[in-house]
Structures are given as C-alpha cells and as structure tokens.
Amino acid sequence: MDLSYKQRTLKIAVYLLLTAGAALIQNTAGLTLEIGGARCFLLLPVCMILGAGEDERFAAVTALIGGMLWDLSSAVHLGFNAIYMCIMCFFGAALITYIIRNTFITNFIFSTVFILLYCFLYWLFFIIIKDVRGAELSLFTFYLPSALYTILATPVIYFSLKPIKRALNKPIKTLN
C-alpha cells in the first residue's frame, strides 16, 4: 500500500499517541481495574497489535517507545521492557509480514505468547535472581493472574484498534 507522506506522518503520530495513551492508562494508579491484585499489562498487546502487519522496523520502534514509557514509570529494571518489547514486536511483525497472515487468531496467539513470556522472564530476572522474599509464590499470585487478565483483555484491545489501523492504512484515491 502506498501512503502519501502526510498519511504516513499521521499514522505514525496516531500510533505514538495510542502507545502513549496505553502507557498512561497502564502506569497511572486507579485508571485500570485491578482484579485480586492482578494488573493488566496494557502496553504488551497494544504494541503487538499496532506493530502487526507493519514494517518490522516500525513495529520495533513503536514497541521501543512503549517500553521506554513503561521503564520511565519504574526505575527498577533499566530498560528491560524497552528491549524485550522491541525484540518481540520486531519478530512478531516479521512473521506476520513474511510468513503468517494478519488475522485476529495470529494477533491473539502472538500476544498470548508475548505476554506469558514477558511475565515469566520478568519474574525470573527481577524476582527470583534478586532473591526476593516470597518470590516463588509471586508467579502464581501476581504474574500468572496478571498475564491471564491481559490475555483476556487482548480481544477487546484488538477489536478497538483494528478500525483505527484500517482507516490509517487506507490510501486516498487520487484523480488521474
């Protein structure tokens, strides 16, 4: 699809605003519903869904910005979110661009794997390795419930973002 410079700029601006909005909602206490202490990691599916079907570099940069916004609100892990999200969105976008079709099922599967792997790696690197007290149970009391909550929110996020993506990727027809 050939978009004009103005359309590409508008698309990038809207994607960055959506990413910043998701970061704001996720990182501000009281803006999302916490169920039994489980939080929705909103940036993970938003960045994956926005990056799906786009150029790999564009998906990686969008996820990198989302991860940096997440890292800014938590000074504990020094760029883990930015690096992880950048790598996962790059590979997700590459797989969807070159191998797999961009459908709800592929977005849901990639987001689910992305979320579960994120929760496990974060728990392993920043809870287990640092030998935090009660670390073993935190996987079952916080990280897996948060992953399940985020996975259940993914279809709502997908069907909210899909019309926006479709409208932004539609080239304007010119008269010849």
Confidence of residue 1 (pLDDT cuts 50, 70, 90): low
Does the residue 173 lie in any domain? no
Assess contact for 60 and 93: CB atoms under 8 A.
yes
Give the model confidence (pLDDT) of 102-142 as tens digits: 999 999 999 999 999 999 999 998 888 887 788 888 899 99
Handedness of CA 88, 90, 94, 100 (dihedral sign): positive
- pTM of this prediction? 0.90
Question: What count of other Cβ atoms lies within 10 Å of the Cβ of residue 129?
Answer: 10
Beta bridge partners of 38: 35
> What is the full DSSP assignment across 27-53?
HSTTSS--BTTB---THHHHHHHHHTT
Structural domains in the chain (count): 1
Mean pLDDT computed over 145-160: 96
Does the residue 1 lie in any domain? no
Does the residue 98 lie in any domain? yes
Assess contact for 103 and 53: CB atoms under 8 A.
no
In the chain, the percentage of residues whose pLDDT exceeds 70 is 97
| Distance between CA atoms of residues 122 and 83, nearest Å | 12
Q: Is residue 20 classed as helix, strand or coil in its secondary structure?
A: helix
Assess contact for 48 and 107: CB atoms under 8 A.
yes
- Which structural domain, as residue segments, surrounds residue 42? 8-168
Comparing CA positions, the residue from 8, 73, 81 lying closest to residue 44 is: 81
Give the model confidence (pLDDT) of 61-107 as tens digits: 999 999 999 999 887 778 999 999 999 999 999 999 999 999 999 99
* CATH assignment at residue 16: 1.10.1760
Does the residue 176 lie in any domain? no
Handedness of CA 34, 62, 53, 116 (dihedral sign): negative
The yes-or-no verdict on residue 175 having pLDDT over 70 is: no
Residue-level pLDDT at 120: 95
Residue 96 corresponds to which tokens in the numbers above? 């969807």
